[in-house]
């Protein structure tokens, strides 16, 4: 049995991971990290702790869906007590991403801004289209629920990165995150990534390729958060068998 620890257990995705683990063969929920008392019932056999070292010691693999600041603390604790880590938290800063890379030198770390199979494939399709349709303007729109804290979504940024890389562009130089006022014409290489927020939308991403006379739009819609929790559990089962290193969801899915 693979013992799984959950960090961010009381969150929207964390709670689903706890539920989905009940039906995951060969895996068991061993420990959850909680700063305060949990507001939901949990099996008495599960260790509930507010100490990250204890969470790591009690787990074969830890799944994190929290906040960037919290993820940073987890990475720091894991550097002292290495364990396979599945990181789903988005909006990480450059410092936090560097910490994640440092951690991956001492333990296997899978970092995915989107754990769904569909988005993993979408990233491949976007790279292919970006390269094949060199003259097409690329624009990305994402929509999420009103509670989402980071913008644009980690998924949209990953898609933009795939598109930019396929054209040998530096995303930091070509990304546009808003247009307002008399800003002039669109430049050739810019890639806009726009974020809309509202209601309970789980996640919708559209990557459009626009030219004179035709356009293609690649769409992905997540209709349930279980897509992410099940994907993270699948990733955890795969990651425990890997040596130290930094992995993506595509590595896990063999895409």
Contacts with ligand NAD, residue ranges (CB under 6 A): 8-14, 35, 65-67, 69-70, 88-91, 112-115, 150, 228
Q: How far is the CB of 31 from ligand NAD (least distance, A)?
A: 14
Residue nearest to ligand NAD (CB): 11
- The three-point CA angle 136-162-107 to 5° equals 180
Contacts 24+ apart (CB under 8 A), 151-154: 151/195, 151/197, 152/177, 152/193, 152/194, 152/195, 153/90, 153/113, 153/195, 153/203, 153/205, 154/90, 154/91, 154/92, 154/113, 154/114
CA-closest candidate to residue 122, choices 101, 108, 97, 140:
140
173 in catalytic set: no
Pull the structure tokens for residue 73: 């603390």
Provide, rounded to whole angstroms, the least separation between the CB of residue 115 and ligand NAD: 4
CB of 127 to ligand NAD, least distance (A): 19
Q: Which CB atom, from 144 or from 175, has the smaller least distance to ligand NAD? A: 144
Residue of 83, 148, 220, 230 with catalytic role? 148
Residue 220 among the catalytic residues: no
Of the candidates 22, 73, 80, 144, the residue annotated as catalytic is 144
- 38 or 176, CB closer to ligand NAD? 38
- Report d(CA 241, CA 237) in Å as an integer: 8
Smaller CB distance to ligand NAD: residue 66 or 130?
66
| Catalytically active residues, by annotation | 144, 148
């Amino acid at each position: 049995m693979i013992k799984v620890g959950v960090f961010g257990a009381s969150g929207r995705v964390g709670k689903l991971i706890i539920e989905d683990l009940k039906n995951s063969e060969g895996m068991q929920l061993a420990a959850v990290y909680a700063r305060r008392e949990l507001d939901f019932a949990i099996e008495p056999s599960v260790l509930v702790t507010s100490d990250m070292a204890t969470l790591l010691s009690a787990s074969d693999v830890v799944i994190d869906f929290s906040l960037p600041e919290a993820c940073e603390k987890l990475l720091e604790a894991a550097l002292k007590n290495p364990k396979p880590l599945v990181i789903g938290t988005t909006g990480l800063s450059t410092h936090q991403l560097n910490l994640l890379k440092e951690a991956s030198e001492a333990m296997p770390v899978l970092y995915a801004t989107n754990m769904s199979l569909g988005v993993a494939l979408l990233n491949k399709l976007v790279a292919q289209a970006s390269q094949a349709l060199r003259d097409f303007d690329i624009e990305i729109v994402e929509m999420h629920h009103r509670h989402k804290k980071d913008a644009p979504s980690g998924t949209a940024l990953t898609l933009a990165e795939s598109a930019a890389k396929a054209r040998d562009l530096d995303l930091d130089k070509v990304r546009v995150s808003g247009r307002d006022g008399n800003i002039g014409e669109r430049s050739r290489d810019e890639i806009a990534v726009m974020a809309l927020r509202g209601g309970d939308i789980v996640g919708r991403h559209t990557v459009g390729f626009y030219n004179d006379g035709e356009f293609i739009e690649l769409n992905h819609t997540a209709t349930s958060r279980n897509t992410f929790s099940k994907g993270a559990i699948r990733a955890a089962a795969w990651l425990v068998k890997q040596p130290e290193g930094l992995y993506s969801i595509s590595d896990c899915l063999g895409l």
